[in-house]
Amino acid sequence: MSAAKTLLFSPSILKSPTPKSPKPSRFTPTRIRSSSSSSQQTLTQTLSTTPAKTRVKILSEALPFIQRFRGKTVVVKYGGAAMKSEALQASVIADLVLLSCIGLRIVFVHGGGPEINQWLNRLGIQSSFLNGLRVTDASTMEIVSMVLVGKVNKHLVGLINKAGATAVGLCGTDGRIFTAVPSPNADQLGFVGEIASVDTSVLEPLVKDGYIPVIASVAADGTGQSYNINADTAAGELAAALGAEKLLLLTDVAGILEDKDDPGSLVKEIDLGGVRRMMDDGKIAGGMIPKVSCCVKALGKGVKTASIIDGRLDHSLLLEVLTDEGAGTMITG
C-alpha cells in the first residue's frame, strides 16, 4: 500500500478546490455535485501530476475499504497534537471530507484543552488538574462553555464547510444529546460530569442526510447546569448509542505499546482479552488507561472496532480507514 499512501495522503490530492477556476481542466481542481431526494453532496477531486496508471492502481486498492465502510457510521474524537498544529488540523479536516464524500457517515467529537488554557491564562484564572481531569469551578465552567461551544466548535464547522462538506455544530446540551450527572469526585473536581444518558434523535437524520455533526464535549444535567465532559468518554458513549462501525481516538502517542519505553513496540491489533492482560501486567498505564477503558466500554456496547491512532501523523485517519497498515492500535471485540 506504499503507493496508495503516496497519493491518497498527499496534500495536493486532498486540498480544497480553488474557487477562481471557472473552467476546470484535467490539471485543475474540479467540484462534482450529485443530488438526491434528501440532500446535495459535494465531492471535491483534485488531479495531480501522478501518472494516471498509478492513480488507477491506488483507487482500485482502496476499493475494498470503501466498500466495507460505505454507509457505516464512524465516530472520530479530535484532540491532542492534531488540534494544536495548523498543518495537522488541515490534514484531519481533509480526511473527514474525503471519507464523507466516499460514503462514510462521520460524527466528529472534540475537546479543546489547549484553547481553554489560553483563555484561562488571559483572564488570570489558574488551571489545575486532578488525575488528568480539569478542576472546573463556576468561573472555569463558563470559560469552558464559551471556548468549546462558541469558538472551537464553530471554527471546526467553518473549516469543514470550506473544505467542501457540510458540518453542523452542536454540543452535548443540544437536543439532550448527552444528559450529565456530577462526577463522583464532584467535591474535588467541581463541574466535571459523567454521561448518564445519550439521545441520538437529533443526530440520526443529520448523519443520514450526509451532514457531519461536530459536537463539543459540554453537557447539562436535568436542571440545566452545565458540565465539562471528557471528550474521549463522550465519543465512546456516542459511538455505542449510534451503533458505530468504528470509534477513532486521535492521540499524541503511537498507540498501545508492548514496551512503553520503546516506540517501535506498537501493538497494531489486539482483542479485549489481550487488553486486559496488558492492563494486569501494567503495560497499559497512566494516561492510556482512560482511553483504553473508553474503547473497551464502547466495544462492550456494540461498536465493532475502536482504534487509538497517532494524531501526529499526516492523514492518520485515511491511513487507519483506507489501508491495512493503519495508524495506531485497533482494539476488536
Beta bridge partners of 168: 213
Write the burial class of residue 283 (CB in 10 Å: 0-12 exposed, 13-18 middle, 19+ buried).
middle
Q: Which residue has the cell 483572564?
A: 123
Q: What DSSP string runs through 193-243? A: EEEEEE--TTHHHHHHTT-EEEEESEEE-TT--EEE--HHHHHHHHHHHHT
* 40-45 and 30-35 strand pairing: antiparallel
- Percent composition of the chain: helix, strand, coil (DSSP 3-state, to 5): 40, 25, 35
Beta bridge partners of 307: 248, 330
Write the burial class of residue 221 (CB in 10 Å: 0-12 exposed, 13-18 middle, 19+ buried).
middle
Q: Is 333 tagged catalytic?
A: no
| Residue type for position 329 | T
Q: Is 291 tagged catalytic?
A: yes
As a whole number of angstroms, the distance between CA 321 and CA 71 comes to: 14
Catalytic-labelled residue, pool 77, 164, 326, 328: 77
Contact yes or no for 110/170 (Cβ under 8 A): no
Is 324 strand, coil or helix?
coil
Q: Is 286 tagged catalytic?
A: no
Q: Is 232 tagged catalytic?
A: yes
Catalytic-labelled residue, pool 79, 111, 169, 232: 232
Question: Which residues does 144 contact at the CB level (< 8 Å), separation at least 6?
Answer: 116, 134, 136, 218, 228
Q: Is 261 tagged catalytic?
A: no
Catalytic-labelled residue, pool 111, 113, 210, 311: 113
Catalytic-labelled residue, pool 236, 291, 311, 326: 291
Cell of residue 175, nine digits:
437536543
Is 310 strand, coil or helix?
strand
**How many CA atoms, within 13 angstroms, populate the side-chain half-sphere of residue 238?**
38
Contact yes or no for 333/303 (Cβ under 8 A): yes
Residues marked as catalytic: 77, 80, 113, 232, 291
